[in-house]
């Protein structure tokens, strides 16, 4: 079998641009994967490997330790998930793979992706273990047995210390978003967890960036790792970057002006501080935008609700700090706005890489004050070509109120614990209630709640009919989730 790898060696990072280095054959079929897995990949619409998958899967499936670096949204999850699933023995009821993630949201996303990818095989149990939930139910789930555990380092460590998690049968350890875990101060916890894993195992480390701490981690816990690094190279045609010079006191108003001029359906606005997040949120709401903020002070439940509403298109603008937004997988993002240019070029490239995914074009706007010009010089150097300067005076606010988001979120009080599944909710809305499939958007089921996005035009009607009807033969309580601007 021919390898599609960019030349990777043990000591020097292999580099491959998004469209260079990697051979043209990106078919999953050339990998040693079970036929059922290949069929499932087809059904999921995974027709070709992404570059990071093409570079890492052959090595990971061959059992090598890996340090893999590629930007957010490049498909890293499947790169490790397919590998750990391939080694799994479904008939053995023991934890065979452990994935460490920095936050609960990311753990949930990863667990979901693993479950999707495991659909081809019989009954693989994937369990998430994160802080913010009570220990007891997690302990009883563990007693029932799980094949794969996905969790945050602190909570996994708690379970190890209480003896409720046994890693004796583990054969794969994954450190996902390793850079972010280090940022969050998890180094020592990761050390404890890694030491509790059997020595004979495969360790896969995935990261969007490559700070110093990663090398330290990998020296300690990886065995002759192969290093794969896909340079950040966004196709110029997909992300249209524009820079605007602003006076300090114009900055927030300029964000509103950009939104009114370009009218993107979904925008992620990056602020450098929490205070700036708060100020921007206030201004946008005053201007009639449906906007939400994501920052470190939110409780877990509030964070969940913000993310769900943004991802299902019932919120137009998400205002966030880098730390709060890193690693989140949001598709269909039309624009990214750098409310302040970040001093870190790598962070800049990472921020704008959120838009222009797969086959959609995206905007990336940056607001720059006089004192931040040096930062832009660095970005320009990194890009290797001149950047486009534009003037705020070119922008024209469309008249009237800003476009409302296309969807509205309904919150059903009841979730997995009540055995509610997405299909039940879809059935209730398209069955007796008489709505069409096109009017229903994403449905997210959590342990205790269900969020369903419906077209704005049917929101009240859908709320009324769901409240009057039943799901799984039971009455449910339903609310309209609306922020203060709505």
Q: What residues line the site for ligand ADP (CB under 6 A)?
A: 45-46, 48-50, 53, 70, 72-78, 329
Query: Toward ligand ADP, which CB reaches closer, 109 or 276?
Result: 109
Size of the site for Mg ion (CB under 5 A): 1
Q: Kindly state the smallest distance separating residue 357's Cβ from ligand ADP, in Å.
A: 8
DSSP, collapsed to helix, strand or coil, labels residue 223 as coil
| 354 scored as a contact of Mg ion (CB under 5 A) | no
d(Cα 39, Cα 118) in Å, to the nearest integer? 11
Q: Kindly state the smallest distance separating residue 304's Cβ from Mg ion, in Å.
A: 18
Among Mg ion, ligand ADP, none, what does residue 75 contact (CB within 5–8 Å per kind)? Answer: ligand ADP
Query: Toward Mg ion, which CB reaches closer, 108 or 418?
Result: 108
Burial code of 311-337, b = ≥16 C-beta within 10 A, e = fewer? bbbbbbbbbbbbebbbbbbbeebbbbb
Among ligand ADP, Mg ion, none, what does residue 74 contact (CB within 5–8 Å per kind)? Answer: ligand ADP
Query: Toward Mg ion, which CB reaches closer, 76 or 155?
Result: 76
**Which ranges of 65-152 does DSSP label H, i.e. alpha helix?**
76-86, 104-117, 135-144
200 CB neighbour count, 10 Å cutoff: 8
Part of the chain binding Mg ion (CB under 5 A), chosen from 42-50, 71-79, 377-385, 455-463: 71-79
| 64 scored as a contact of Mg ion (CB under 5 A) | no
**Which ranges of 46-103 does DSSP label H, i.e. alpha helix?**
51-61, 76-86
Q: Where are the beta strands (DSSP E) in 126-184?
A: 126-129, 148-151, 172-175
Query: Toward ligand ADP, which CB reaches closer, 76 or 147?
Result: 76
Q: Kindly state the smallest distance separating residue 189's Cβ from Mg ion, in Å.
A: 19
Query: Toward ligand ADP, which CB reaches closer, 45 or 370?
Result: 45
Angle at 254 between CA 342 and CA 343, to 5 degrees: 5
Q: Which residues contact 250 (CB under 8 A, 6 or more apart)?
A: 392
Q: Kindly state the smallest distance separating residue 378's Cβ from ligand ADP, in Å.
A: 24
Q: Kindly state the smallest distance separating residue 57's Cβ from ligand ADP, in Å.
A: 10
Query: Toward ligand ADP, which CB reaches closer, 60 or 70?
Result: 70
Query: Toward Mg ion, which CB reaches closer, 180 or 375?
Result: 180
DSSP 403: P
Among ligand ADP, Mg ion, none, what does residue 49 contact (CB within 5–8 Å per kind)? Answer: ligand ADP
Q: Which residues contact 305 (CB under 8 A, 6 or more apart)?
A: 411, 451, 481
Q: Kindly state the smallest distance separating residue 204's Cβ from Mg ion, in Å.
A: 12
Query: Toward Mg ion, which CB reaches closer, 80 or 270?
Result: 80
Query: Toward Mg ion, which CB reaches closer, 311 or 481?
Result: 311
Assess contact for 230 and 74: CB atoms under 8 A: yes
Sign of the C-alpha dihedral, residues 129, 130, 131, 133? negative
Q: Which residues contact 42 (CB under 8 A, 6 or more apart)?
A: none
Query: Toward ligand ADP, which CB reaches closer, 73 or 356?
Result: 73
Angle at 106 between CA 85 and CA 366, to 5 degrees: 130
Among Mg ion, ligand ADP, none, what does residue 50 contact (CB within 5–8 Å per kind)? Answer: ligand ADP
Among ligand ADP, Mg ion, none, what does residue 473 contact (CB within 5–8 Å per kind)? Answer: none
Site string for Mg ion, 20-59 (x = CB under 5 A): ----------------------------------------
Sole residue written with tokens 């607001």? 367
Closest to 206 (Cα-Cα) out of 23, 80, 31, 32: 80
Q: Which residue is nearest to Mg ion (CB)?
A: 76
- Which residues make beta-bridge pairs with 56? none
- Which residues make beta-bridge pairs with 17? none
Among Mg ion, ligand ADP, none, what does residue 251 contact (CB within 5–8 Å per kind)? Answer: none
Among Mg ion, ligand ADP, none, what does residue 345 contact (CB within 5–8 Å per kind)? Answer: none
Q: Which residues contact 38 (CB under 8 A, 6 or more apart)?
A: 28, 29, 120
Q: Kindly state the smallest distance separating residue 244's Cβ from ligand ADP, in Å.
A: 28
d(Cα 132, Cα 104) in Å, to the nearest integer? 8
| 76 scored as a contact of Mg ion (CB under 5 A) | yes
Q: Kindly state the smallest distance separating residue 132's Cβ from ligand ADP, in Å.
A: 21
Query: Toward ligand ADP, which CB reaches closer, 48 or 457?
Result: 48
Question: Helices 104-117 and 35-43 meet at what angle, rounded to 10?
Answer: 120
Query: Toward Mg ion, which CB reaches closer, 76 or 303?
Result: 76
Q: Kindly state the smallest distance separating residue 367's Cβ from ligand ADP, in Å.
A: 26
- Which residues make beta-bridge pairs with 188? none
Q: Kindly state the smallest distance separating residue 78's Cβ from ligand ADP, in Å.
A: 5
Q: Kindly state the smallest distance separating residue 45's Cβ from ligand ADP, in Å.
A: 6
Q: Edge-to-edge strands of the sheet including 317-321? A: 291-294, 317-321, 267-271, 335-338, 362-368, 239-245, 389-390
Q: Kindly state the smallest distance separating residue 312's Cβ from ligand ADP, in Å.
A: 14
Among Mg ion, ligand ADP, none, what does residue 46 contact (CB within 5–8 Å per kind)? Answer: ligand ADP
Name the site residues for Mg ion (rule: CB under 5 A): 76
């Amino acid at each position: 079998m021919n390898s599609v790898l960019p030349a990777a060696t043990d000591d020097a990072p292999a580099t491959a641009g998004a469209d260079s280095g990697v051979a043209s054959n990106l078919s999953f079929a050339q990998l040693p994967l079970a036929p059922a897995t290949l069929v499932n990949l087809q059904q999921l619409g995974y027709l070709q490997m992404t570059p990071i998958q093409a570079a890492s899967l052959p090595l990971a499936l061959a059992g090598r330790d890996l340090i893999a670096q590629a930007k957010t949204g490049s498909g890293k999850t499947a790169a490790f998930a397919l590998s750990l699933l391939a080694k799994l023995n479904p008939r053995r009821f023991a934890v065979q793979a452990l994935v460490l993630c920095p936050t609960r949201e990311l753990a949930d996303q990863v667990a979901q992706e693993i479950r999707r990818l495991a659909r081809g095989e019989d009954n693989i149990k994937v369990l998430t273990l994160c802080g913010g939930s009570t220990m007891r139910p997690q302990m009883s789930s563990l007693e029932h047995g799980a094949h794969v555990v996905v969790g945050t380092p602190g909570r996994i460590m708690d379970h190890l210390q209480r003896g409720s998690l046994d890693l004796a049968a583990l054969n794969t350890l994954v450190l996902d978003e390793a850079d972010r875990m280090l940022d969050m101060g998890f180094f020592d916890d990761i050390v404890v967890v890694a030491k509790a894993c059997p020595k004979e195992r495969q360790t896969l480390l995935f990261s969007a960036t490559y700070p110093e701490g990663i090398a330290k981690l990998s020296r300690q816990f990886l065995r002759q790792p192969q290093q794969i690094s896909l340079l950040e190279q966004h196709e110029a045609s997909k992300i249209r970057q524009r820079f605007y010079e602003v006076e300090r006191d114009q900055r927030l108003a300029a964000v509103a002006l950009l939104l009114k001029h370009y009218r993107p359906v979904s925008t992620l606005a990056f602020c450098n501080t929490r205070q700036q997040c708060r100020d921007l949120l206030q201004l946008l709401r005053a201007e009639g935008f449906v906007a939400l903020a994501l920052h470190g002070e939110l409780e877990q439940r509030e964070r969940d609700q913000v993310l769900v509403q943004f991802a299902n298109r019932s919120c137009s603008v998400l205002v966030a700090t880098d730390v709060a937004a890193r690693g989140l997988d949001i598709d269909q993002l039309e624009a990214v706005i750098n409310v302040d240019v970040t001093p870190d070029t790598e962070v800049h490239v990472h921020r704008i890489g959120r838009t222009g995914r797969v086959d959609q074009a995206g905007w990336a706007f940056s607001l720059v004050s006089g004192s931040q010009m040096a930062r832009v010089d660095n970005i320009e150097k990194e890009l290797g070509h001149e950047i486009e300067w534009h003037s705020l005076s070119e922008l024209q606010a469309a008249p009237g109120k800003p476009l409302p988001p296309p969807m509205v979120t309904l919150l059903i009080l009841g979730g997995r614990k009540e055995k509610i599944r997405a299909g039940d909710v879809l059935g209730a809305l398209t069955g007796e209630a008489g709505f069409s499939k096109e009017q229903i958007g994403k449905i997210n089921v959590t342990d205790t709640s269900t969020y369903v996005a419906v077209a704005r035009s049917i929101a009240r009607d859908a709320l009324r009919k769901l409240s009057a009807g039943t799901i799984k033969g039971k009455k449910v309580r339903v609310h309209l989730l609306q922020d203060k601007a709505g």
